[in-house]
Chain A
């Protein structure tokens, strides 16, 4: 038979309380047997239990807040030893305060072994349980992280495939070429060249290898030039790239979907002319890239695609640089700005 359900919090709490009551009762019984004083036995067992609980919470907090400190046998047993010593010593001090008599030390020594055994069993038992729980939890977290990473990779893969195909863009470009062949054959030829260079640029990239920013900029320029042939009457493009950024490196095709979004949203959300700008500068060894497009504040509701695309880029940056603050967006004065920061090694 397999267990398909964990005990509930309530059940665990009841078991825990019962556990401590039984230990308390046991200790009461033993002390009573030795001293034949029920009052003393109750007080003694209660003090002992309270001290043990403090010891357990002590281990709990170390386990929670600095697990690295305690997660090896050596330091764990030193810790347990110290706690047992502390507990028994404190018991002696407190009881001495409460029940002082000339033969107290002798009396206490009679029960010393029992006290040490009780403290040892309790503290060790809970220490081990907390350690196991910690181990299970961290394992789960690791699994989840792995799963997340895997999913993101898969999604990125998907995006990459979509990126490479871009059927819509491709067919519309071919349609433009179709029109240009008769009216402006030279322009048609140039368009074919641009389209081929662009496609080649997007195809050969290895996802995991950073590329020079200058290469990415060239690719963006190719892309925007093609779009300008299609929408030249409405689309203007503005590059403002500082020279010191050209040799910086970034993940390949990271900016492409952002610029594509900017063009799409610019063109399809406003009726007027659309200016797309790409600015880049180097700042404290960070490559800062800002891409802007106009948008209509009234009519623009974020479409599903946009949010999805941006969150994927966010994830990709997070996976590569382990930071979540590298992508920001801004909507101001009918201008939508996407800002990307790429740390340089």
Chain B
């Protein structure tokens, strides 16, 4: 059996997917979720092969939900979103279904999934190249949906929504990024260039290959010697500035 989870905050929207799925005997719906939090839990629990995912949902949207899942299942987006945003994640997903959609269109999407390498054993979208591509697409859609002002992170089993105003800096950490607020840090499997791209460039500056800084927390720039300088933050943390980072910082601050 192929395990499937339906994620949509409108029961009727889930109902129609259920109805269309009834003809596929090899597919089993293991869970239905009305928001991203439930979805993250259900996906962890059931490890489905495929999810149907709405974009606009309470608290955290479809993209953010997807970000929180480590072992990503195949995704079919179901949304009434305009084509603009759709283009952005077109290649990210198995397919996208524009609401309202009919059974034929739906079956086409399911067949696409059944024929995809994802279903044939190559699980997850782990390759570096495709990951980058996805990030690019996500960043485009993020700018479009104006959600560059928050980052959703996982802390143990709970999910936190960090407003970017509370983020002090980002630090690269192997394949992850450490996101620091005043108390602690959170890990997220993303790249620095992703955040550099998504965040508001007047507030966040990539001052080093491994650091992005929130300007609101900057107190002082110290020149150690001719080629070395560092930024002093309000919480006492010192962050090295690369030469290009230093000039970028000066440019942003209009110095």
Contacts and interface: CB of A to CB of B under 8 A. Distances in A.
Interface of A: 167-168, 171-172, 174-180, 182-183, 229-234, 267-271, 296, 298-299, 301, 303-305
Contacts of A179: 12-13, 15-16, 19
Contacts, number: 72
Interface of B: 9-13, 15-16, 19, 34-35, 37, 56-59, 80-82, 98-101, 146, 149-150, 161, 163
A230 B10 contact: yes
Contacts of B149: 301
Given A168-B80, A301-B163, A304-B146, A175 B57 contact: no
B80 A176 contact: no
Contacts of A298: 161
A296 B56 CA distance: 17
B85 to A, nearest CB: 11
A303 B146 contact: yes
Contacts of A270: 58-59
Contacts of B12: 175-176, 179-180, 229-230
A288 to B, nearest CB: 31
Contact of B15 (A183, A267, A268, A299): A183
B37 A271 contact: yes
B9 A267 contact: yes
B59 A172 contact: no
B58 A268 contact: yes
A269 B58 contact: yes
Given A171-B80, A174-B100, A178-B100, A231 B163 contact: no
A305 B146 CA distance: 10
25 contacts: A168-B56, A168-B82, A171-B98, A172-B99, A178-B100, A179-B13, A179-B15, A183-B15, A229-B12, A231-B9, A233-B11, A267-B9, A268-B59, A270-B58, A270-B59, A271-B35, A271-B59, A296-B59, A298-B161, A299-B59, A301-B149, A301-B150, A301-B163, A303-B146, A305-B146
A167 B100 CA distance: 12
A175 B13 contact: yes
Nearest to A303: B146
Contacts of A233: 11
Contacts of A234: 9, 34
A301 B81 CA distance: 22
A271 B149 CA distance: 20
